[in-house]
Amino acid sequence: MTSRILGVVREQVLAALFGAGDATDAYNVAFRVPNLVRDLFAEGAMSSAFVPTFTRHLTTEGKDSAWRLGNLVINGLIVITAVLVILGIIFAEPLVGVFAGAYRSVPGKFELTVFLTRLLLPFLTFVAVAAAFMGMLNSLHRFFIPALSPAMFNVATIVCALTLVPVMPLFGWPPITAIVIGSLLGGVAQLALQWPSLRSEGFRYRPILDWRDQNFRRVLVLMGPGTIGLAATQVNVLVNTVLATGEGTGAVSWLNYAFRLMYLPIGLFGVSIATATLPTVSRHVAMNDESAARGTVANGLALMLMLNIPATVGLMVLAPPIVRLIFERGAFTAADTNATAAAVQFYALGLIGYSVVRICSPVFYALGQNRTPVIVSGITVLANAALNIALVGVMGYRGLALGTSIAALFNAALLLLLLRRRLKGLEGGRVLSSLVRIALASMVMGVAAAFVDVEAARLMPGSGLTLQIVRLATTIGVAMAVLAASAYVFRVREFREAIAVLARRRRAGA
C-alpha cells in the first residue's frame, strides 16, 4: 500500500514540476518499455514461472536446492537483460521512431525522448533482479519487504525530482533528466532493501550460470509464455502510448497520469490478492487437491470484487475532484485536470478486468497450462489494437482508455471461462451472488457520492487546497458509510466476514 500511494505522490510531483507538456510526454515514452518490463517481471513472470518452481524446490528438495535455482535465475536475468540494454542503447533512435515517430514534428522532442531512453535502459537489469528477490521472499511467505521495495523506487524518484531538477541545466542536461536519475537509483534501492531479508533466510549470492540445468531451463521456458500471458494489459498501454503520440502535446501524459491513478486499486487489491493467492494454489496443485485450489481462487475473486467494484464506481463518479486535488498545481493546469479525469473514468471501466487477469493468469501456470494465457493474451492484444484504432478516430485519446478497458474485460472473461472449465467450476454461484450484491451496494454508494459531491461544492465553494480536501473527504466518508450500510442490507458475504474478523480481533485485544 505504501508503494502505491508513493507512486501517486511521484506522479503528483512530476505533474507539479512539468505538467503535461513535451518533457513529460518524452519521459513517459522513454520509460514505457522499461516500466512494462518492470510490471511484467514484478507482477508477472516471477509469479507465473519462478515462484511455483522455487516453491516446489523448497517443499520437495529443501533450501539448498532452491538457493541454487535462485542464483541461476538471477545470473541468467543479468546476462539476458544486459544484452537487451546494450542493444537498446545502440538502436534507441529507431526504437523510439517506432513508438513515437510523430514526435519528430515537434522540435527537440524526438531527440529528448531518445536521450532519456538510453539513460533509462539499465533500469531493466535492476528491476529483473529485484523481481527475482521478490519471488524468493514471497515463496518463503515474506511478503512485507517485497511489497515495500517498490516504495524505494518512488522515494528515490521523488527525492531526485525535488533536489536535482534545478541542478540539471548546470550540466547542460534537461531538467527532466532528474526523474531518470531517480528512476535508476530507485532500481538499485529495490535491491538493497530486499537483500538483508534474503540473507537472513540463508541465501548467499553465487556467480554461477548453467544454461543446461533442467530446473533453470524450465523457469526460462515458463517465463517466456508467463510474461506474454500476463502482458496484455501492459502491451495494450504501450499501444495506447504509440497511438497517443499522434494526438498532440499532453495526450501521452494525460493517459499516463490517469492510468497511474486508476492502477492504484489494482496495486492495492488486485496484485496483493494475486500475490497471496498463488503460493497457496501452487501447493494445492502440487498435492493434487483441485477442490482446495478451486476454493482458493474463488475466495480471491470474491474478495477482489468486494474491493474493486466500489473502487470502480468511486473513480468514475469522483474522477474530477480527485484529479484536481492530487495533480492541479504548478505546471498542471485546469485543462489538464479535465483531460486526465476523462481518461480516468474510461480506464476505471476496466478495473475489474485488470484485477481478474492478475489473479487468474498465474493460476494456469501453476496448473501446467502454459499455452492458455499466452493465446488469450495474444487475442486480447489484437482486440485492443483494433478497438483503439477504431475509437481514437472518434473519441481521441479518450477512446484509447475506453478500448483498453473493453479489452481488459474481454481478457478476464476468457480466462475465467477457461479456468472454470479446467478446475471443473469456480464456485460460480457464490462468486456471482457476491458480484450482484456488491454491484448493487456500489450503485447506491455512487448515487450518494455524486449527490454529496455536488452539495459539498455548493455549500463550500472555493478552490483552496483545504476546501478541496474537506469536500472530497466528506464525500468519500459519506460514500463509505453508505457502502457499508448497503453491503449489510444486501447481505454481502465478504463484508460480513470482514466485520466478524474485526470483531474477533477487537475482543482478542480487549
pLDDT of the chain along its 510 residues, tens only?
Answer: 677 788 889 999 999 999 998 999 999 999 887 777 666 665 556 656 777 788 888 888 888 888 999 999 999 989 988 998 999 999 999 989 988 888 998 999 999 999 999 999 999 899 889 888 988 998 888 878 887 888 888 999 999 999 999 999 999 999 999 999 999 999 999 999 999 999 999 999 999 998 988 888 888 777 766 566 556 666 777 888 889 988 888 999 999 899 888 888 776 666 667 666 666 777 777 677 777 777 778 888 887 888 889 999 999 999 999 999 999 999 999 999 999 999 999 999 999 998 888 888 878 877 777 788 888 888 988 899 999 999 998 999 999 999 999 999 999 999 989 988 887 777 777 788 888 999 999 999 999 999 999 999 888 888 888 899 999 999 999 999 999 999 888 988 777 766 665 555 556 554
What pLDDT does residue 507 have?
61
CB atoms under 10 Å from CB of 395, counted, come to: 15
Q: How far apart are CA 257 and CA 255, in angstroms?
A: 6
Establish how many alpha carbons lie within 13 A of residue 370's alpha carbon, considering only the half-sphere containing its beta carbon: 16
Q: How far apart are CA 238 and CA 305, in angstroms?
A: 26
Q: How far apart are CA 94 and CA 35, in angstroms?
A: 19
What pLDDT does residue 173 have?
93
**pTM attached to this predicted model:** 0.79
Instruction: List, in order, residues 6 or more apart from 32 with CB less than 8 Å away.
Output: 99, 237, 238, 241
Q: Which three cell numbers stand for residue 352?
A: 475489474
Q: How far apart are CA 259 and CA 8, in angstroms?
A: 10
Residue 506: exposure state from Cβ atoms within 10 A (0-12, 13-18, ≥19): exposed
3-state secondary structure of 287: coil
Query: If we measure between CA atoms, which residue out of 156, 159, 85, 83 comes closest to residue 117?
Result: 85
For 183-342, strand residue ranges (E) read none
Q: Which three cell numbers stand for residue 414?
A: 476468457
Q: How far apart are CA 8 and CA 337, in angstroms?
A: 15
Residue 252: exposure state from Cβ atoms within 10 A (0-12, 13-18, ≥19): buried
Q: Which three cell numbers stand for residue 337?
A: 485536470
CB atoms under 10 Å from CB of 242, counted, come to: 20
What pLDDT does residue 12 have?
92
Query: If we measure between CA atoms, which residue out of 130, 177, 124, 178 comes closest to residue 150?
Result: 130
What pLDDT does residue 43 have?
52
What pLDDT does residue 265 have?
78
* Helices and strands: H and E segment counts in the chain: 21, 0
